[in-house]
Structure 1
Amino acid sequence: MLEITFEDDYDTAAFLHLLRNADENRHIKIHEAPGKIGIEKTHSSVSIQEYIQPILTRFFTECKEDEYMLSVIEGDYYFLDRDEQQQILQLAHSIMEGELEGLPLNHDDTPREYFIEQELKTICLEENVFSIRSFMTFRLGKYYERLKGYVEAAIDEYKMEQEYQTFIQSLRDYVTRKEPVLDHVRIVHDGHFVLWELKYISEREQKKYIDRRFVREHPMYIDSHLLAPLVSIAPKKIDLYTKNSEHAMVQTIQNIFQERVRIFSLESFHPQENILEERS
């Protein structure tokens, strides 16, 4: 019989839940005791090793993974606020699930479960005692390295998001305070973004619409071809024509100008309509 020992009642109950939801056609008998669970086979052809390995892997990934990552977030990077910890943890999960791309993770595409499975294969799980704590302490170094990489990437993403929100708020405040240079402008997104009211004037004339002082204060973030003139103009109304309302720049413009922005399909744009003439 294999005896698995746990540190607390929560882990014991969580593992029992996984056992009871495993394949019923298993020829396995479960023995419950405080802080431990016994696994006994009821047929000679059954392999406890083959049966228990995937359950143990699920236990570590589903029940202990967040616990470790939260300890890294708090203990190594000193994020003590619970809300911040949860935001970073959610970002780490998004990275693990491939929902966030292009993040600087220094590892190959090997699934993180592989590192647990390889260590379990080196241990006889047919009988004797298997300590969850000992296995986590001495056998999961590579697995923890992978989790720490996810956390580090999540923290980088979190900091970038915080910087972005601060940047957006500064632009929003500027636009709110500034007197509009033009009341109404159109932006056409067809492969690239064009501020239509400036399309047919010279580059020298275009520069007159840009608040150079404000741009100097945001050199890393301001796009000189679109955001710089758009924010400097601070229009009361923006009509944005696009095929992709989820584009990052579309979202940024909406975040800055909020209710001032109206989104239209690209096909509905009619360039012969001259807003400048309409105002004169």
Structure 2
Amino acid sequence: MLEIIFEDDQDTAAFLHLIQHSDDRENIIVRESIRKIEIEKAEPAFSIQRFMEPILVKFFLECKEDEHMLSLIEETYCFTDQDEQQQILQLAHSIIEGEADVLPFEPMKPPRKQYILDELRTICLEDEVFSIRSFQIFRLGKYYEQLRETVEAAIDEYKMEQEYQNFIQTLRDYVMAKPPRIKKVHIVHDGSFTLWEMRYVPEREKMKYIDRRFVRDHPMYIDSHLLAPLISIAPDEVVLYTDQPEHMMVRTIQNVFQERVQMLPLQAFSNAETPVKHSEG
């Protein structure tokens, strides 16, 4: 008989639910008491070990993983706001779902499920006492190290996203407060980005359009070739020709100019009226 010890009633109930919805449920006898479940085989040849391994893996992944990551987010990395915690947790899930990209410097690292399964196979689950807490503390070090690295990556991504959103809001406020220097501009994205109205303007003349102080205050973010003159011109209309709507620069232009942007496929530029294609601005 296997005796499983839990930390709280919620874990006990969650584990019972997994057992009740598992295959081969009819081959075991289950007895429940306070924070404890006893599992006995109904058939002598039945393997409790093989029955329990996938259930335990599922329990740790589905019932305990978020709990551990949230504990790291709050207690180790000091994010106490619940909305922030949930955003970081969702980013961690996104990283996990693309598991090959979680830790690119260690491409051979096995998936989380394998860590847990490997450890379960080093112990006997037939007629022993199995403590959930003890197994977590003494057996899951590598698994929890991977979760910690995933949480760190999610936090880095969250901070970058917050910086990006603050940057976008700064640009948006600047554009909204500034009168346009050119009412309507066209941007052609064909491998690179071309601000069509400025394509023949000499560099020295182009610099007159750029708010140098604003660019100096945001040197890491503002592209001097496109974004700096575009923001400084602050047009009322932006017609953007591209076949890559998910490109980072395309998204940035959309986020800054919002309803001022009209996005069209690149082919539409080839079919545009001659004055648009050949105007000098």
Letter in 2 for 1:172: R
Aligned ranges 1:198-209 → 2 under 5 Å:
198-209=198-209
Deviations 1:91-130 (A, max 9, x none): 01100001895x6665434101111111111110001211
Following superposition, the deviation at residue 278 of structure 1 comes to 10
Partner of 1:182: 182
- Separation (CA, whole Å) in 2 of partners of 1:246 and 1:50: 46
Name the TM-score, length of structure 2 as normaliser: 0.93
Letter in 2 for 1:233: I
**Matched-pair contact (CA < 8 Å) for 2:19–2:25:** no
Deviations 1:212-231 (A, max 9, x none): 11111100000111101100
Partner of 1:155: 155
**Matched-pair contact (CA < 8 Å) for 2:185–2:195:** yes
**Matched-pair contact (CA < 8 Å) for 1:106–1:149:** no
Letter in 2 for 1:89: L
Deviations 1:54-81 (A, max 9, x none): 1101100100011111111111111111
Partner of 2:173: 173
Letter in 2 for 1:265: P
Give 3-state SS (helix, strand or coil) of 1:29's partner: strand
Deviations 1:199-250 (A, max 9, x none): 1222222222211111111000001111011001000000011112122111
- By percentage of residues, which structure has more helix? 2
2:281 aligned with 1:272 = no
For structure 1, the 5+ residue unaligned runs are none
- Separation (CA, whole Å) in 1 of partners of 2:131 and 2:261: 59
- Separation (CA, whole Å) in 1 of partners of 2:249 and 2:100: 17
Partner of 1:86: 86
Aligned ranges 1:205-220 → 2 under 5 Å:
205-220=205-220
**Matched-pair contact (CA < 8 Å) for 2:184–2:235:** yes
Following superposition, the deviation at residue 265 of structure 1 comes to 1.2
Following superposition, the deviation at residue 272 of structure 1 comes to 2.3
Give 3-state SS (helix, strand or coil) of 1:274's partner: helix
**Matched-pair contact (CA < 8 Å) for 1:115–1:143:** yes
Give 3-state SS (helix, strand or coil) of 1:51's partner: helix
The verdict on how the C-alpha distance between 1:104 and 1:170 changes in structure 2, with shifts beyond 3 A counting, is farther
The verdict on how the C-alpha distance between 1:147 and 1:188 changes in structure 2, with shifts beyond 3 A counting, is same
**Matched-pair contact (CA < 8 Å) for 1:48–1:126:** yes
Name the TM-score, length of structure 1 as normaliser: 0.94
Partner of 2:131: 131
- Separation (CA, whole Å) in 2 of partners of 1:217 and 1:278: 31
**Matched-pair contact (CA < 8 Å) for 1:183–1:235:** yes
Q: For structure 1, which segment, 208-217 or 16-25, has the greater mean C-alpha deviation from structure 2 after superposition?
A: 16-25
The verdict on how the C-alpha distance between 1:278 and 1:198 changes in structure 2, with shifts beyond 3 A counting, is closer
Aligned length, in residue pairs = 278
Deviations 1:132-166 (A, max 9, x none): 11111211111110000000000000110111011
Partner of 1:56: 56
Q: For structure 1, which segment, 234-243 or 267-276, has the greater mean C-alpha deviation from structure 2 after superposition?
A: 267-276
- Separation (CA, whole Å) in 2 of partners of 1:133 and 1:68: 12
For structure 2, the 5+ residue unaligned runs are none
Percent identity for Structure 1 against Structure 2 = 62
